[in-house]
Copies of this chain bind each other. A is one copy, B any other.
Amino acid sequence: MSNPLIITIGREYGSGGHQIGEIVAKKLGIAFYDKQIISLAAQKSGLSDEFIANNEQRVKSGLMQNLATSAAYSSGFFSSQYLPLSESIFISQAQVIRDIAAKESAVIVGRCADYILAGRQNTINVFIHAPKEARVQRIMALYHLDEAAALKAIATSDKERGNHYFRYTDLKWGKAQNYDISINSALMGVEKTAEMLVSLAKIEERA
């Protein structure tokens, strides 16, 4: 069997990226992991001292490049107590994502999965976005918010996601060149966008 197919999805808040990911996973008959599931799995697995020691210097070297691309690098020089909690969490989530990618085909939404799996074969990195007006409408309907609250939620979330992505990857969130495909979900709507990604995944699997 070849390398499992992994589709990572980065998305703007309110763009429908999460729902698109669910539909794609269902249509392809593969697993679906979102931010919550990965966070829970990382919490459950915990962080062994050995694991932290092996990853620590990669965090300290900044940008997590070694962490994301190599499992071979190891260093036990620093004690794990110096590792900030947010970095520990990132490392643990990255490990969960790599474990998933090693064992089964899946759609993975969020958590810098594109970066963590950089260089991996049979991986399609997707970014879903939409014009602000479309996102406001979606958020208002989904969470029964008024327009002002929806706009505020969008601004806050975009900022958080951009910061989180940049902090751990040193790359710009939403830069087209960082993804294989970026789509405005408002162009065709959630269902048709998902269908297009399914077609693309099928072409890619045959290649």
Contact = CB atoms under 8 A, between A and B. Distances in A.
A178 to B, nearest CB: 8
Interface in A147-181: 174-177, 179-181
Given A196-B199, A196-B200, A200-B196, A180 B187 contact: yes
Interface residues of A, number: 24
Contacts of A203: 188, 192, 196
A1 interface: no
Q: A interface, by DSSP: helix, strand, loop or mixed?
A: mixed
Contact of A204 (B12, B179, B188): B188
A176 B127 contact: yes
Nearest to A207: B188
Nearest to A124: B187
Interface string A95-137: 0000000000000000000000000000010010100000000
Contacts of A176: 127, 129, 174-176, 179, 182
Interface in A193-207: 196, 199-200, 203-204, 207
B187 A204 contact: yes
Contacts of A204: 187-188
Contact of A181 (B12, B124, B182): B182
Contact of A179 (B182, B192, B199): B182
A189 to B, nearest CB: 8
Contacts of A179: 176, 182, 184
B184 A181 contact: yes
A183 interface: yes
A48 B54 CA distance: 69
